[in-house]
Structure 1
Amino acid sequence: MSTCTTVSCELAEPLAATAAVATTWLLVEQNGPWGAKALGESHLDRATGRALEAAAAGTGVRVALIRRPGRHADCPPTTRHGVVVAHTVPGRGWVRRAQVVDPAELLELDFAALGAGDHTGFGAEHVGGPMALVCTNGRRDRCCALLGRPLAAELAAAGHSEVWEVTHLGGHRFAPTMLVLPYGYAYGRLTPESAKDVLAATAAGHMVPEWSRGCSGWERPGQAAEHAVRLATGETGADALTVAQRPDGEGRWLVRVVHRDGRAWEVDVIETVSEPPRPESCGKAAGTPSRMDVLSVRGV
């Protein structure tokens, strides 16, 4: 039986510029099973989950649940919740951690400030290696469970101490998908070997273009432009490039990509649709998802 991932691979659908857009991630530890819409379908208080989602709307903050790899159906409810807040705009990123007894305490945060890159003193700075967040929510898409859970388990067994399952990263058809902090790059179609390569590169301050879906800190046109410049130059420094985009007609953008050494490029990006139709998620009707295509890259 075909899955959304096998169809996407057969069609050689590009990974670039498919990362979920979020300047800041708010990740709340919650053990036990997750439903398809996990913020309202887990052991987390439903009203709290919905309130967190509402508070984050329009601020650039994306809320998700995390848990350690392993069996979850019989896990007791979490009594203390680890919390990770990560700002992922390159050159301005940070990761902060704390624990709360009641996730409702997080409703007191200034979500607009978090989205803008101001942590307002929340928690303490994360110290240690990269954090690997692997999408595993089979209630949302079976590919995430079938492919994501074994990947998370393998990374944990290999000794990576900061491996977490996460409820939703978008792009089920690119499973297994992984978001890596501190830099906020999303990756897809990973194997255990390539995922370990990504984590090693992240620890050294680099990203890996081959499996990159983009940095969540950029809008999708910016993700496409950054990726194109990386391919053209071979630059892999995670914080080496910044982008600024402006509309250039309907469904088209001019994106200025600037290197920290002063070099700059202008990238012409256009939004198209993916043909032929394919399912964006298992069980859904075939559609033509949006894609970002680069028309030109010019040094300026």
Structure 2
Amino acid sequence: MGSMKRRFCTTESLEIDEPLAGTGNHPVRNLLISWPRSKWTRSARRASDMSDAVSGLLDRLAKQGLRVNLIDRREDREKSHRIFLMPENQSYRVLPEQLPAFLEQLLAGAQEPGEPLNHPLLLCCTHGQKDRCCAKFGFQAYKALAESAQQEALPFSVWESSHLGGCRLAASAVVMPSMRKYGRISPEHALPLLQSELKGRPYLPCLRGEAELSSLQQVARIAAMEALAATAPDAELEILSEETLAGERECATAWLVLRWRVGETEGFLRVKCREEELIRFDTCADVDAEEAKPARVWRAVDVADCEAPA
């Protein structure tokens, strides 16, 4: 008898037409520490050869509100750790024996200024110890992103990253400091995504959302950007109003009005969004255990020009 075909939470998510838009939430405060991927454990901030002292300090920093991720790229493996702080946009090189003291200073808010970053960071989740989708889809995307940046001499620093959230949306990535989050990145998306980010534009085919916005606001902004893509791709967008009403079976409907502006030209869009319930697998572990769970998502159902609000 042949073996059963392995299922992946990413393909399960696609099969139920789960939207990418609205899943871009991510902490704005980030601490990134280079560590060989072979040493990562299931935790996003733990390595198998990490000392108890360092692990404890990272836990304390996480309790202060810092998102801690391990990152790696083979060409940058040195005796020292590369450390990045966001949104401070600071870079450090710290020897392993100096790492506990550095983290203590960080806890106390007394760390010295580092080197300012003059190019964006792109983190692509390859955390196979956490979820097999991040190994299968994430590493392919990482290689394509890193190779595209190198071959085209694009000013990006591309790193493998531990868990970024949303394993079912692999391959996942986040660009810093813009804090735009992406999902379902295939190798063919790599170059256009980098080129779009280089122009300061989000890459719409894979955009999950902007971290500082609510899920509903992310959905509305992405719908507005898609509506303007052909005529005003560089438009600045501002959410002016938001109204939400409960509906059948407690699924809500929302209307958001956004102003778009390009130079002296402006206009207004009204985006209608509807909440719906999906039964989904969040991770491959859920798929294996057949433990699908209900989840509420927003979906844009209409975008229309409108008058300026009173």
TM-score with structure 1 setting the length: 0.77
Matching of residue 125 in structure 1 with residue 129 in structure 2: no
Is the aligned partner of 1:273 residue 2:277? yes
Preserved CA contact (<8 Å) 1:83 1:97? yes
**Do residues 49 (structure 1) and 72 (structure 2) align?**
no
Report the counterpart of residue 141 of structure 2 in structure 1: 151
Contact 1:246–1:254 (Cα < 8 Å) also in 2: yes
Q: Could you tell me how far apart the structure 1 residues matched to 2:299 and 2:149 are? A: 38
- Please state whether the residue corresponding to 1:283 is helix, strand or coil: helix
- Structure 1 gaps of 5+ residues are 88-93, 114-119
Structure 2 counterpart of 1:125, one-letter code: P
Distance 1:228 1:121, change over 3 A: farther
| Structure 2 residue 27 is the aligned partner of structure 1 residue 22 | yes
Is 1:136 aligned to residue 126 of structure 2?
Answer: yes
AA at the equivalent of 2:92? A
Aligned counterpart, 1:190 = 185
Q: What is the one-letter code of the residue matched to 2:70?
A: L
Q: Distance in 1 between matches of 2:214 and 2:80?
A: 34
Q: Distance in 2 between matches of 1:279 and 1:140?
A: 15
In structure 2, the residue matched to 1:241 is 237
Q: Distance in 2 between matches of 1:166 and 1:96?
A: 18
Report the CA distance between 1:159 and its aligned residue: 4.6
Change (3 A) 1:220 1:109: farther
CA gap of 1:158–1:199, structure 2 versus 1, over 3 A, is closer
Cα distance in 1 between the residues matched to 2:211 and 2:19? 16
Aligned-partner residue type, residue 51 of structure 1: L
Task: List per-residue Cα deviations over 1:84-140 (Å, max 9, x = no partner).
Answer: 2233xxxxxx632222234432343379x9xxxxxx974232123x42211001111
Residue equivalent to 2:284: 282
- The 3 A distance-change label for structure 1 pair 158 and 269 is closer
1:199: Cα distance to partner? 0.6
Aligned pairs for 1:288-299 within 5 A: 288-294=294-300
Task: Provide the residue aligned with 2:92 in structure 1.
Answer: 98
Aligned residues: 277
Q: 1:279 to 1:246 in 2, by over 3 A?
A: same
What's the counterpart of residue 117 of structure 1? Answer: none
Is 1:68 the counterpart of 2:84 in the alignment?
no
Does the 8 Å CA contact 1:28/1:81 hold for their aligned counterparts? yes
C-alpha separation in 2, matches of 1:215 and 1:136: 21
Deviates more, 1:181-190 or 1:101-110: 101-110
State TM-score, norm by structure 2.
0.75
Give the CA deviation at 1:197.
0.7
d(CA) in 1 for partners of 2:9, 2:15: 10
- Structure 1 residue 264: Cα displacement: 5.5
2: CA distance, partners of 1:247 / 1:52: 40
- Secondary structure at the counterpart of residue 197 of structure 2: helix
Q: Quick one: which of 149, 156, 174 aligns to 1:179?
A: 174
Contact 1:221-1:292 within 8 A present in 2 as well: yes
Instruction: Tell me the SS of whatever aligns to 1:43.
Output: coil
Give structure 2 stretches of 5+ with no counterpart: 1-5, 151-155
RMSD, aligned CA: 3.4
Conserved? CA contact 1:225–1:267, under 8 Å: yes
**Superposed displacement of residue 45, structure 1:** 3.1
Asked whether the 8 Å contact 1:134–1:177 carries over to 2, the reply is yes
CA distance in 2, matches of 1:202, 1:222: 20
Q: Does 1:7 align with 2:9?
A: no
Deviations 1:237-283, CA, capped at 9 Å, x for gaps: 4x933557878577867756454656565656565421xx2211002
